[in-house]
């Protein structure tokens, strides 16, 4: 595996599941601090934070994926992700490591992938007996949801 062909992924945990996103979309990993609430948004949106001179909407990935919400813990993190020209914060249970993954290590998701909408996935990576779900950050929100969020964040800032 050469470094030119390997893809760098940031791995994190939600519940008992391991997830990863492409390192190129990760702007920053922040310690969790409660986002400011914004009224009239879906329950899976935590609110907004200020980062890098921007007001960044933050979603709770647990509730977005149909998992129960947890009270904030010391190990919780907010990943600030670049989605096109916008930044989006996502709350995760913990961040683990940066993985170097060869393209042939990324398997397509099975057709009947239960528990998580397959449209969110770029694929699955098997590592040391773990199954890591590789998320397509651009698809975690629909374009209309992203527009609604960035508009709400802009009006809040």
- Sketch out the chain's domains with CATH numbers: 7-156 (2.40.50.180)
pLDDT in tens, 53-101: 999 989 898 888 888 988 889 999 999 999 888 899 999 999 999 999 9
Q: Does residue 142 surpass a pLDDT of 70? A: no
* Whether the Cβ atoms of residue 23 and residue 98 lie closer than 8 Å to each other: yes
State the Cα–Cα distance between residues 115 and 97, nearest whole angstrom: 24
From 28, 40, 24, 4, select the one nearest 95 (Cα to Cα): 28
Q: Please give the order of strands across the beta sheet that includes 26-31.
A: 26-31, 77-83, 86-92, 54-60, 45-51
State the Cα–Cα distance between residues 79 and 21, nearest whole angstrom: 10
Strands 77-83 and 54-60, by their bridges, are unpaired
The pLDDT of residue 84: 82
Under the banding of pLDDT at 50, 70 and 90, the label for residue 146 is low
State the Cα–Cα distance between residues 136 and 101, nearest whole angstrom: 15
């Amino acid at each position: 595996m050469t470094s030119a062909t390997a893809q760098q992924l940031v791995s994190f945990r939600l519940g008992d599941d391991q997830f990863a996103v492409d390192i190129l979309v990760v702007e920053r990993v922040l310690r969790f601090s409660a986002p400011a609430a914004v009224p009239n948004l879906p329950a899976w949106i935590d609110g907004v934070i200020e980062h890098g001179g921007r007001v960044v909407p933050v979603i709770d990935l647990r509730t977005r994926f149909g998992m129960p919400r947890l009270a904030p813990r010391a190990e919780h993190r907010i990943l600030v992700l670049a989605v096109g020209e916008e930044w989006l914060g996502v709350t995760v249970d913990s961040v683990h490591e940066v993985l170097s993954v060869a393209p042939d290590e990324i398997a397509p998701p099975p057709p009947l992938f239960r528990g998580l909408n397959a449209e969110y996935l770029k694929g699955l990576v098997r590592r040391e007996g773990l199954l890591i779900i590789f998320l397509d950050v651009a698809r975690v929100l629909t374009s209309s949801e992203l527009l609604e969020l960035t508009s709400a964040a802009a009006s809040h800032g």
